[in-house]
Amino acid sequence: MAMYDPGKLYVDPILTGFSTGYQDQTLYGERLFPITPVNTQSGRYRVYDRSNWIVFPSRREPGTIANEVRGGKWAEDTFKTHEHSLQAAVADEENQELQSQGGLANPVFGGGLGLDPHQDATELITRSLLLEHETKVAAAIRNTGNYAGGFTTALAAATKWSDYTYVTAGIVESVVSNPVKDIRAACFKIYKATGRWPNTMTIPIDALGVIEQHPRVVDRFKNFALTDPEAWKALINVPAPENFFIVDSMVNTANNIDATESIVSLWGQDVWLGLVDAQPGQKTKTFGKTFVQTYPDGSTKPTDRWREEERKSDIVRTSYKYDLKVVSDTCGFLFQTAVAAV
């Protein structure tokens, strides 16, 4: 197997910039588990409790010393980043074919539009790295083991938000499920545990249409669109989530370009409500974080490029060092199977 010459290896700033900004579908992983840059592979971080809410006795009599209190109490957890890296080869023949007259350079095939096989290769590997991160975030959010007791509920039978009955002529006969009540209760649950209202909500695309048609939601949304954050204030009568995401990211679980496609939603029918603080500091209230180790050039997703003459190919490689952590198990609430599968 041919080996690259380390002396010819360099970080390509153009391809690195392309990789950093690239997305071919809307992804939510880094918005729900925001990045905290770190300069070491592993380290500790503090998980703060609410000891700063204590009212300490402060009455002081003349000639006595003031009551001395303990400093804030905290727990500790650790992160350890692991590198995720993929590479792809750009053969000389591929570049020659792209530039050849009558071939892909022809405008009919998209030629002349600045197509670059090195960018195509970078796009391919970057897409896979980002989808892997997205898959991990979705799995962490949908894992009930990442929540404190009472911060998840599995809706079943008549409690599913898709369960409501109509008689003929479209008149509602009965409504058993109640998404308005359920969401309000989850908001208060998070507030009582953290002292903050949840600021982020995700509804999977699989559930959106069903929830939109729920009689209790329809009644509240007569004059609003479901995606209007102001409407949520009217819906649940508490401070509305600032970030409202209709999560629709998908992956091909066939994991083989030659196999029949199997496109699957990463979010299923689960609805999530929680706190997301994008600030990288220590004293943040957020459900999860992505600890990202920066590379020597300061980037988080550098793309290397080198030449392997034996293969008559250029090689591009993109890397991403990170660790996903759920840092507060009371900063989120999960509604499992909020609606029936569609």
What residues does each domain of the chain span?
Answer: 6-49+74-336
Q: Residue 330 above 80 pLDDT?
A: yes
Confirm if 129 and 318 have CB atoms less than 8 A apart: yes
Return the pLDDT at 158.
Answer: 81
For the chain, the average pLDDT equals: 80
Q: Which CATH class is domain 6-49+74-336?
A: alpha beta
Q: Residue 75 above 70 pLDDT?
A: no
Q: What are the DSSP E strand ranges found in the chain?
A: 10-11, 35-38, 42-48, 74-80, 82-91, 152-154, 164-166, 172-175, 200-204, 243-247, 250-252, 263-265, 271-274, 288-293, 303-308, 313-326, 332-336
Q: Residue 283 above 80 pLDDT?
A: no
Q: Residue 92 above 80 pLDDT?
A: yes
Query: Which pLDDT band, with edges at 50, 70 and 90, does 113 fall under?
Result: very low
What single letter denotes the amino acid at residue 178? Answer: N
Of 141-155, 231-245, 324-338, which gets the smallest average pLDDT?
A: 231-245
Instruction: Taking residues 325-333, report their average pLDDT.
Output: 93
**H runs (alpha helix) in the chain:** 13-21, 29-32, 92-99, 117-142, 179-194, 205-212, 215-220, 229-236
> Rounded to whole angstroms, how far apart are CA atoms 285 and 49?
10
Of 187-201, 226-240, 309-323, which gets the smallest average pLDDT?
A: 226-240
Return the pLDDT at 257.
Answer: 78
Q: Residue 70 above 80 pLDDT?
A: no
> Rounded to whole angstroms, how far apart are CA atoms 35 and 98?
37
Which is higher by pLDDT, 339 or 53? 339
Confirm if 293 and 39 have CB atoms less than 8 A apart: yes
Return the pLDDT at 149.
Answer: 94
Of 36-40, 55-59, 204-208, which gets the smallest average pLDDT?
A: 55-59
Confirm if 47 and 268 have CB atoms less than 8 A apart: no
> Rounded to whole angstroms, how far apart are CA atoms 112 and 338?
49
How far lies 323's CA from each of 129, 262, 291, 300, in Å? 13, 28, 5, 13
* Residues paired with 272 in a beta bridge: 202, 334
Of 201, 182, 198, 188, whose CA–CA distance to 243 is shortest? 201
How many CB atoms within 10 Å of residue 295? Answer: 18
Q: Residue 55 above 50 pLDDT?
A: yes
The percent of residues in the chain predicted with pLDDT above 90, rounded, is 33
Return the pLDDT at 321.
Answer: 95
pTM: 0.81
Return the pLDDT at 221.
Answer: 64
Return the pLDDT at 117.
Answer: 85
Which is higher by pLDDT, 271 or 340? 271
The percent of residues in the chain predicted with pLDDT above 70, rounded, is 74
> Rounded to whole angstroms, how far apart are CA atoms 240 and 262?
36
Of 36, 24, 45, 63, whose CA–CA distance to 249 is shortest? 24
Query: Which pLDDT band, with edges at 50, 70 and 90, does 115 fall under?
Result: low
Whether the CA torsion 42, 78, 38, 333 is positive or negative: it is positive
Region class of 271: left (phi > 0), else alpha (psi between -120 and 50), else beta: beta
Of 125-139, 205-219, 280-294, which gets the smallest average pLDDT?
A: 205-219
Return the pLDDT at 290.
Answer: 95
Query: Which pLDDT band, with edges at 50, 70 and 90, does 293 fall under?
Result: very high
* Residues paired with 48 in a beta bridge: 74
Which is higher by pLDDT, 164 or 82? 82
- C-alpha dihedral (226, 132, 90, 310), degrees to nearest 10: 180
Q: Residue 335 above 90 pLDDT?
A: yes
How far lies 305's CA from each of 23, 132, 311, in Å? 21, 22, 14
* Residues paired with 291 in a beta bridge: 36, 323
Which is higher by pLDDT, 303 or 96? 303
Confirm if 85 and 320 have CB atoms less than 8 A apart: yes
Q: Residue 334 above 90 pLDDT?
A: yes
